[in-house]
Chain A
Amino acid sequence: DSGVTQTPKHLITATGQRVTLRCSPRSGDLSVYWYQQSLDQGLQFLIQYYNGEERAKGNILERFSAQQFPDLHSELNLSSLELGDSALYFCASSAPPSGGYEQYFGPGTRLTVT
């Protein structure tokens, strides 16, 4: 158990809908990362937050947005969903950088868009 929790575990929704994925980082970790893992694209970095502020952006679509709240939990919002958005969405967290920069991954949310 990495200490990172994600809810829900599974989500099935229809095209055009909007969903929110939630992540709670490990106790004490200030950074949260979101990744999308699909069969054809591999593991893609979406976005990183550090202590409530956006720090880095990857291949995140404009239909997707994220935020990190004062209690450090984070939410990833996916809107106008398309079939191609079906994937595993991982959240990871890390401690403030102090040498190593290892990330601890949650179990993921499997999103199926029908």
Chain B
Amino acid sequence: GEDVEQSLFLSVREGDSSVINCTYTDSSSTYLYWYKQEPGAGLQLLTYIFSNMDMKQDQRLTVLLNKKDKHLSLRIADTQTGDSAIYFCAVSPGGYQKVTFGTGTKLQVIP
């Protein structure tokens, strides 16, 4: 089955850029997502990208997709303390097939 890997932890200083990386195994993954989970809360969809795109920018968020290497990244510009959370990468072949989530990366923002 699909396997989605992320590093467990990332620490950055406030104002710096954060880059969270994700690798997946299934080349048929068509939809790729980034979710944010704040303490004690459910997951919140941040952004998503289709496999026919290389990049998507949404305000402070930039998603980069390297299909050849099956690598997805999320860049957060000007990281703020409110960005401290766990970030999940998720992929899906689309249609009615299930979405597979990564292990999550805990982002710690140091003031």
Contacts and interface: CB of A to CB of B under 8 A. Distances in A.
Contacts of B28: none
Interface residues of B, number: 22
Contact of B98 (A48, A100, A105): A48
Contacts, number: 55
Contacts of B98: 33, 45, 48, 56, 58
A102 B45 CA distance: 7
Contacts of A104: 45
B62 interface: no
Interface in A75-114: 90, 92, 97, 100-108
B103 interface: yes
Interface in A14-59: 33, 35, 42-43, 45, 48, 50, 55-56, 58
Residues of A in contact with B, size category: 20 to 34
Contact of A101 (B31, B88, B103): B31
Contacts of B50: 100
B96 A97 contact: yes
A100 B88 CA distance: 17
Given A56-B96, A100-B48, A101-B94, A42 B103 contact: yes
A2 B101 contact: no
B31 A90 contact: no
A106 B99 contact: no
Contacts of A106: 42
Interface of A: 2, 4, 33, 35, 42-43, 45, 48, 50, 55-56, 58, 90, 92, 97, 100-108
Given A90-B42, A101-B92, 13 more contacts: A2-B44, A33-B99, A42-B103, A42-B104, A43-B43, A43-B104, A58-B98, A90-B43, A97-B96, A100-B31, A100-B50, A101-B31, A107-B41
19 contacts: A4-B42, A33-B98, A42-B101, A42-B103, A42-B104, A43-B88, A43-B104, A45-B99, A45-B100, A56-B96, A56-B98, A92-B42, A100-B48, A100-B50, A103-B45, A105-B35, A105-B44, A107-B41, A108-B42
